[in-house]
Amino acid sequence: MTRSYEGKGSPEHWGELSEQWQTCKEGMYQSPINISHPVSANLPPLDFNFHTNVKSIVNNGHTIQITVHDEDDFLLDGQIWNLKQFHFHSPSENHINGQRFPLELHFFHANSQGELAVLAVMLTPGKTNPALDILLDVLPTTVHQEQALQQDMMLEKRFPQDKHYYRFSGSLTTPPCTEGFICLVMKRPVEASHAQLARFARALRNANNRPLQPLHGRQITE
């Protein structure tokens, strides 16, 4: 049995499909969550160092994933976090004050010790986003066929101007659901047209959002 988002391989069964995936069922710090009642910690806005150098794109059967060179980074907890890859979930996995968004981008970063931080950006219906058109033009039509990218990705346009965020301790939202991740969710969404959002949904073919997970007393800061 392989994992999926529906049927016998759906998220509620992931912990039963493999001994290595028990955390999906037993973990206490699982993602995604509904972000509400955050505690004020005066978190400073993120200071990004943006580049545009991407390597490849692939539809891996679960999401559209773009791999990048280790250039884009930000400073957090006195450490530099380098972007490794980003991918898409439609509809969004995390909610903000009970609101679900049509699309969520996950940017995976790692520090020099190999620890991971996941940065999420929500997309909401609005104006056409030129940065997304560049990506839509190269969306894979074949599953598991990785292709090199030569285009500049304009990564800064995929982030809101307001760089404030929510922070909590979370996990991978796919098996093995590993915990111990720093999870950051940008407070403000980025706009994309209805047509752009629909094209992403069609490219993903099926919804690929894990259901919300219990907080288990976790604190969300802002």
Segment 114-123, tens digit of pLDDT: 999 999 999 9
Q: Are 177 and 171 in contact (CB under 8 A)?
A: yes
Percent of the chain with pLDDT over 70: 99
Q: How far, in Å, CA of 32 to CA of 211, rounded?
A: 7
For residue range 47-65, what is the model confidence (pLDDT) as tens digits? 998 876 788 999 998 999 9
Predicted TM-score (pTM) of the model is 0.95
The pLDDT, as a whole number, for residue 57 is 94
- Is residue 70 pLDDT above 70, yes or no? no
Backbone angles phi, psi at 103, to 5 degrees: -155, 145
Residue 99 Rama label (left phi>0; alpha psi -120 to 50; beta): beta
- Is residue 169 pLDDT above 70, yes or no? yes
CATH class of 7-204: alpha beta
Average of pLDDT values for 187-206?
A: 94
**Which residues are marked as active site?**
62
Query: What is the sign of the dihedral through the CA atoms of 108, 20, 213 and 144?
Result: positive
Average of pLDDT values for 67-80?
A: 88
- Is residue 22 pLDDT above 90, yes or no? yes
The pLDDT, as a whole number, for residue 101 is 98
Q: Are 165 and 187 in contact (CB under 8 A)?
A: yes
The domain spans of the chain are 7-204
Q: Are 220 and 37 in contact (CB under 8 A)?
A: yes
For residue range 143-163, what is the model confidence (pLDDT) as tens digits? 898 999 877 777 887 899 999
Mean model confidence pLDDT for the chain: 93
